Structure 1
């Protein structure tokens, strides 16, 4: 199935985009999670969202989810690792699954964490962000996974079926759901080293000789997710209509730039979808 619009992100920007796309009878898929966004749910009080007073982040999230549920919108709880422009449509990669959409709205938030020393240098050269995408390259080899969330545990279990040895380095308080043969290392990653390819993970108290390293993050910088996408620092470059440097790809929310406010994000989600619909209409007339 090729969707009209793929929306990547389930915060205020992504959900506002999904509502307006649904009103316009577009065939959509929304990637994210049923908690909307971690940033939203952690907010103790929200006082500047027009029409809602003295709400906590969880209460506002519940209103968002009630709204989309009433409209029959479902969230696909998968992480999109890569988005490729194929000319007339986009291919979205999530683990071992592929999706197609004529347009895309990116509402992925902002990459807050710093990159590990050596991470950018060896990205694609022994360092990756998607174990289910690239795991086959490490059959019968040693791999390390640096996990910042529970999805890292799923990737580690997947790799255990392929690799000869798997090291798991959690950077969060984990609930152990790992295969017994996976070696859990409670230590802080410091640097990635190698020759032509990454082959060593330096931790604070030890070093691991490995053939590959996967870094599982809450969010990945858009310039690594979408080849050819123009960025400005941590933000995706766009115009007032939320158009990016790639035709058919639109942006909304924190990843489009400051200020980081929920109401602004929701408004941008609506603009992004309106622009995507105009793009779809023009393509239909042209064809």
Structure 2
């Protein structure tokens, strides 16, 4: 398989990054024998797990992206009494039952961060760290993003703002890069980028010791705004203004609107119909990311609906071929 860190160096002229990414993914798909899944599910909370279980029961090839905690919200719940059939259980206890269920069904949770998802017509291409996956349909079950984007973040996305440092770092060889890290894992990205960039600034948005190479400059400050006209020029913080060529924002997950270009949103939620369909053909959404109420049983039910409709969509495509 061709790695993004190698092939992305072909990107030497300035044009729309989304179109470039789609062309790149198409090239990789043609050059490599990329394994295609029936359903790719983003998120390992109740909605994502329910979707995976129901798709597997219907003999679909599933890839599920999530994390070892399944759902941070679930982990923090002291007591749950409204999950049918399971009375008086903690969030951790329910998590263990979920894990036991998916283990019995041989469903693996890929602990990798999905950076972007593009509709390629008959399939979806998923950029995951430096790898690529393909799926006929996608189910978004990534939860709800409560934090607002920085001023200038959406405007300059693809013009110096990015969410995958390891993917885009070769574009900034010999330049100045700033990384805003919301998780410890972002430190690995910063260390990698420092091998290519002339200068790396790192803003840790979490508590605890930071383990970085000695020539990375740590800035104990909070970001306010990303500045620039047609590309990133500065990152404004509470205390300073940092001159930089790129700003990478590294979180556990990327907001749906930034993850899937063209995805229709209803404020902070993904807009869906009664069948959990989004405005993009073959893309479905379930759980908290699809709207209130933020309830575990509601999420699980929507995950099932999304999976059943994704199965119907896939079967229709196969029938017409």
Same fold (TM over 0.5): yes
Task: Determine whether 1:192 maps to 2:219.
Answer: no
Q: What displacement does 1:122 show?
A: 1.9
**Secondary structure, aligned partner of 1:202:** strand
Q: What displacement does 1:176 show?
A: 2.3
Q: Which of these residues, 125, 141, 144, is aligned with residue 110 of structure 1?
A: 144
Aligned length in residues: 287
Q: Which of these residues, 196, 200, 214, is aligned with residue 248 of structure 2?
A: 214
Q: Which of these residues, 26, 30, 46, is aligned with residue 80 of structure 2?
A: 46
**Secondary structure, aligned partner of 1:63:** helix
Q: In structure 2, how many angstroms separate the alpha carbons of the residues matched to 1:20 and 1:175?
A: 42
- The residue aligned with 1:82 is 116
Q: What displacement does 1:220 show?
A: 2.5
Whether the 8 Å contact between 2:45 and 2:141 is mirrored in structure 1 is yes
Q: What displacement does 1:141 show?
A: 0.7
Structure 1 ranges of 4+ moved more than 6 A: none
Q: Which of these residues, 304, 309, 314, is aligned with residue 280 of structure 1?
A: 314
- The residue aligned with 2:156 is 122
- The residue aligned with 1:161 is 195
- The residue aligned with 1:91 is 125
- The residue aligned with 1:237 is 271
Q: In structure 2, how many angstroms separate the alpha carbons of the residues matched to 1:196 and 1:283?
A: 40
**Secondary structure, aligned partner of 1:258:** coil
Q: Which moved more, 1:186-195 or 1:93-102?
A: 186-195
- The residue aligned with 1:15 is 49
TM-score (norm 1): 0.96
Whether the 8 Å contact between 1:110 and 1:219 is mirrored in structure 2 is no
Whether the 8 Å contact between 2:47 and 2:303 is mirrored in structure 1 is yes
Q: What displacement does 1:146 show?
A: 0.6
Q: Which of these residues, 13, 26, 29, is aligned with residue 60 of structure 2?
A: 26
Q: In structure 2, how many angstroms separate the alpha carbons of the residues matched to 1:286 and 1:138?
A: 45
- The residue aligned with 1:201 is 235
**Secondary structure, aligned partner of 2:155:** helix
Q: In structure 2, how many angstroms separate the alpha carbons of the residues matched to 1:285 and 1:117?
A: 47
Q: Which of these residues, 170, 177, 190, is aligned with residue 143 of structure 1?
A: 177
- Per-residue deviation, residues 174-221 of structure 1 (Å, max 9, x unmatched): 442322222111111122222432111122222211111111123322
Instruction: Give the superposed CA RMSD.
Output: 1.2
Q: Which moved more, 1:151-160 or 1:77-86?
A: 151-160
Whether the 8 Å contact between 1:150 and 1:174 is mirrored in structure 2 is no
**Secondary structure, aligned partner of 1:198:** coil
- Per-residue deviation, residues 137-173 of structure 1 (Å, max 9, x unmatched): 1001110001111231121122111111111101111
- Per-residue deviation, residues 100-156 of structure 1 (Å, max 9, x unmatched): 011111101111102212222222221111112211110011100011112311211
- The residue aligned with 2:70 is 36
Q: Any gaps of 5 or more consecutive residues in structure 2?
A: 1-34
Q: What displacement does 1:275 show?
A: 0.4
Q: Any gaps of 5 or more consecutive residues in structure 1?
A: none
**Secondary structure, aligned partner of 2:203:** strand
Q: In structure 2, how many angstroms separate the alpha carbons of the residues matched to 1:127 and 1:189?
A: 13
